[in-house]
Structure formats: C-alpha cells, structure tokens
C-alpha cells in the first residue's frame, strides 16, 4: 500500500519526532509518505523538517510563516490537496505511536467509499469508552514504556485481529477522491475544533461507510498539541488552554448554526445527524430605544443564546447592529442574513415566537430538542404552544441536511 500521513503541527516538535520514529519503525512493507505542516512554530520544527526532507525522500513539509497560526482545519486540506502524492491518505496526530501491523489492517479493510479508523490505546486521562482501550504506557515521549506496550499488544493482536466496529475518529484513512468530492474540511471552524465532527457528518450523508479496526492501533498520548497547558507533568495534571477554550466555544456555536444541533454520535463514535429544518425565531420583548439598560442587556443576552439555533432570528432593530458588531468576528457566516428586524418579511417554513419575558431554561431545552420534536410529531399547518413557545408550521416542512454535504 502507498499511503500519505497528514500531520499539521504547532510547537510540538518532540511529539513529531517520536511519532516519526514509530512510523518508520512499524510501517512494514508499505510505502509511507509523511506530510507535515509547520504552523508558525517557534520550537525548531521547521529546521527539523528541512533536515528530514534532506534525509528522507518520503518526507515532505510546508510552512506557515506566521506570526499567526492558520490551524489544522486549513492545513489538513493543504497537505491532502497540495502535498500528498498518494491516493490513500490518513489524518494522523503528532502524539500518536503507530503500532505494528496497523497499516496492514488499513490495506485489508480500506475500499471505495470507506473510511478506516485505527483503534486508540490511551492513558486514563479521559473517561473510558467502548471505542478505545485504556492502558497507561506514558503521557510524554520521555516517559514512554515502549517495550511494555509492544509486549502487551501481542495479546490484542491475538484476540482482536478480526474485530471491527462502525465509527470514526482520528487516525482515519481515506481515499483522497472521497475527501475532495465533498470539499474537505469546512473553513468555518478554522483554526480548529469541530471541523472533524462536521466532515464526519458530511461523509456519512454522502454514503461513506465507517470501519474501525481493533487489530490496527495507535498509542495516543492525547491532547499534546496547542489544546493543553501543563500544570504538573509529574502528576499528569494538564488543563485546556484559554486559546483552545475560546476557539472551541466559537466552533461549537458555528456547528450549531450550520447543523441546528450539538455534535451527536453513538457510543462507538458513529455520527447521529438530526434533520435540519428552516426555522425562524421571532424574539419579542420590550421596546428598547430610549429604554432602561437592564431590559437591553437581558434582550441582548437572549439574542446571543438563541441566534445559533435557527436559520433566521427576528429581533428589535435597535439591538441588531450592536449584536452583529460583537458577534460577526466569531464567524464567517454573514450575520446580516441571519439576524433581521421584527418587521421583516418572514419566509421560514417553521416560525417559533419567543416572549423574552416568559422564556425559561425549560424553553431553551425545548429549543435544543426542536429538530427531534419536529421529526417525531411535527406536521404541516400546525399552530400551537410548546412550553412558552408558539410554534407555527406552514404548508411545507422540508429537511436540508443533505444540502450541507458539499462545500
């Protein structure tokens, strides 16, 4: 098999070196191209990349000169489309150790319209789940217990070499043509976070089959990139960086704007994709112009909470300009297309009227469950109350999730 491994990196040189050594050690008979993108690193990553390109004919790298990061959402696609020379690629993180026989499993199971994920062996830094194996062989390259891992893994290969489940998570191997057919990752999520959940939804809607092989594995140290700050390495205590937390919040809101729901998947990481409806919110409240500050703040906060959960929200025009000025910097979606004055013509197939004076936490829970409620019990020409919400469904109630497949 000829395969290109796709590895963006930012200030994680020691993990890239560790990962590189494992790939070359355990790639077997396969021809493996390693494609690295240095995202404005300051730890010597590019110097190492230049050295490796001189030494290894199957190592290729590109560089973001910076000073600002681009993020792996964009760099994954640049590596796949501009650098990778093989038809088969694999999204692969720098904090992963390639186990012996892993690429054999991909070769045997990868076929047209299929994505194959390797099973992750992880230290117990995160909750356990049925899609991975928890076993601690170290959380840093200098603490890595390679011989113990390889001895333990012999039993895994003996008993799980033929086991497969249906789910998708990194590392995932794919045919480049299937990736390019849907347009790759959505830059809506740049620089990072939720871009994987988005593309997994789109793959599934486009008829791609997911296969997780349990005979092919990686040891995954987890979150060794820009997501984590070290608190106490000796005690394995880490925390999410403020940069990642802020970007994750932005990407979560953009995912909801696009899909109409939070990220959903089953226990084995197969996406669950509720229907996407054309929903308009009519947000009623006090007249704001010239009024007291408190109702303005409450109304603004409610607009901020509700806006991602619909196709269009109609609100007091006095509020709209201020809201867009604050929020537009957090999304490439044009908020002028989404946030409109109350007296604007309303063409949505479903309208939900919300009284800001009566809105409760229970109503917000109903908003979050609205796609499932509409799927299970919604019907055209309906007009009624759901909690404190007034829901009106007109003559048609189409679903639009399949229009999101291709960028």
Q: How many angstroms separate the CA atoms of 193 and 245, rounded?
A: 10
Which CATH number is 2-259's, of 3.40.30.10, 2.30.30.90, 3.90.1300.10, 3.90.550.10? 3.90.550.10
| Nearest-angstrom CA–CA distance, 229 and 181 | 37
Q: What is the dihedral of CA 358, 360, 365, 370, to 10 degrees?
A: 0
Task: List pLDDT tens digits, range 290-313.
Answer: 555 557 788 899 999 999 999 999
Our measurement of the distance from residue 263's CA atom to the centroid of its chain's CA atoms, rounded to an integer in Å, reads 8
SS (H, E, C) the chain: CEEEEEEEECCCHHHHHHHHHHHHHHCCCCEEEEEEEEECCCCCHHHHHHHHHHHCCCEEEEEECCCCCCCHHHHHHHHHHHHCCCCEEEECCCCEEECCCHHHHHHHHCCCCEEEEEEEEECCCCCCCCCEEECCCCCCHHHCCHHHHHHHHHHHHHHHCCCEECCCCCCEEEEHHHHHHCCCCCHHHCCCCCHHHHHHHHHHHCCCEEEEEEEEEEEECCCCCCCEEEEEHHHCEEEECHHHHHHHHHHHHHHHHHHCCCCCECCCCCECCCCCCCEEEEEECCCCCCCCHHHHHHHHHHHHHHHHHCCEEEECHHHHHHHHHHHHHHCCCCHHHCEEECCCCCCCCEEEEEECCCCCHHHHHHHHCHHHHHHHHCCCCEEEEECCEEEEECCCCCCCHHHHCCC
82-100 pLDDT, tens digit per residue, is: 999 999 999 999 999 999 9
Per the rule left: phi > 0, alpha: psi between -120 and 50, beta: everything else, 181 is alpha
Closest by CA position to 95, among listed 157, 17, 37: 17
Query: What residues form DSSP beta bridges with 165?
Result: 212
pLDDT of 285 reads 82
What does the longest C-alpha to C-alpha distance in the chain come to? Answer: 74
Which residues of the chain form CATH 3.90.550.10?
2-259
Orientation angle between helical segments 242-259 and 195-205, nearest 10 degrees: 30
CA 327/CA 304 separation, integer angstroms = 8
CA 229 to chain centre: 20
* Helix axes 317-327 and 293-306, enclosed angle (nearest 10): 60
- Which residues neighbour 154 within 8 Å (Cβ) at sequence distance 6 or greater? none
Q: Which two tokens stand for residue 9?
A: 């990196």
12-59 pLDDT, tens digit per residue, is 999 999 999 999 999 999 999 999 999 999 999 999 999 999 999 999
Q: Which residues of the chain have pLDDT under 70?
A: 224-238, 287-294
Tokens 């994709």 — which residue? 273
The closest alpha carbon to 143, from 210, 74, 177, 97, belongs to: 97
Whether 98 and 23 have beta carbons less than 8 Å apart is answered as: yes
In this prediction the pTM is: 0.94
Residues 6+ apart with CB under 8 A from 67: 40
Tokens of 43: 């730890």
């Amino acid at each position: 098999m000829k395969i290109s491994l796709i590895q963006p990196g930012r200030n994680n040189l020691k993990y890239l070196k560790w990962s590189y050594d494992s790939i070359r050690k355990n790639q077997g008979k396969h021809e493996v191209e390693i494609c690295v993108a240095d995202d404005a690193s300051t730890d010597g990553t590019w110097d190492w990349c230049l050295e490796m390109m001189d030494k290894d004919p199957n190592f290729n790298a590109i560089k973001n000169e910076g000073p600002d990061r681009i993020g792996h959402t964009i760099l994954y696609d640049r590596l796949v489309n501009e650098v990778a020379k093989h038809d088969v690629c694999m999204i692969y993180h720098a904090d992963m150790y390639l186990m012996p026989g892993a690429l054999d499993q991909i070769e045997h199971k990868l076929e047209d319209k299929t994505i194959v994920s390797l099973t992750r062996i992880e230290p117990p830094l995160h909750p356990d789940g049925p899609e991975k194996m928890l076993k601690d062989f170290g959380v840093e390259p200098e603490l890595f217990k390679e011989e113990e891992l390889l001895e333990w893994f012999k039993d895994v290969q003996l008993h799980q070499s033929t086991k497969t489940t249906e789910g998708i998570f990194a590392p995932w191997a794919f045919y480049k043509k299937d990736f390019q057919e849907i347009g790759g990752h959505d830059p809506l999520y740049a620089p990072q976070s939720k871009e994987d959940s988005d593309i997994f939804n789109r793959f599934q809607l486009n008829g791609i089959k997911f296969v997780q092989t349990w005979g092919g594995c990686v040891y995954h140290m987890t979150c060794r990139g820009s997501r984590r700050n070290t608190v106490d390495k000796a005690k394995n205590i880490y925390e999410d960086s403020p940069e990642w937390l802020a970007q994750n919040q932005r990407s979560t809101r953009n995912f909801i704007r696009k899909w109409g729901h939070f990220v959903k998947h089953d226990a084995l990481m197969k996406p669950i994709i509720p229907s996407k409806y054309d929903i308009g919110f009519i947000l009623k409240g006090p007249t704001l112009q010239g009024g007291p500050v408190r109702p303005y703040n409450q109304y603004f906060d409610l607009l901020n909470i509700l806006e991602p959960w619909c196709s269009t929200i109609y609100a007091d025009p006095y509020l709209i300009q201020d809201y867009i000025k604050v929020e537009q910097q957090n999304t490439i979606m044009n908020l002028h297309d989404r946030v409109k004055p109350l007296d604007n013509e309303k063409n949505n197939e479903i309208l939900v009227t919300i009284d800001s004076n009566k809105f409760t936490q229970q109503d917000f829970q109903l908003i979050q469950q609205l796609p499932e409620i509409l799927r299970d019990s919604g019907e055209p020409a309906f007009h009624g109350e759901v909690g404190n919400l007034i829901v009106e469904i007109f003559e048609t109630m189409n679903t639009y999730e399949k229009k999101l497949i291709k960028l």
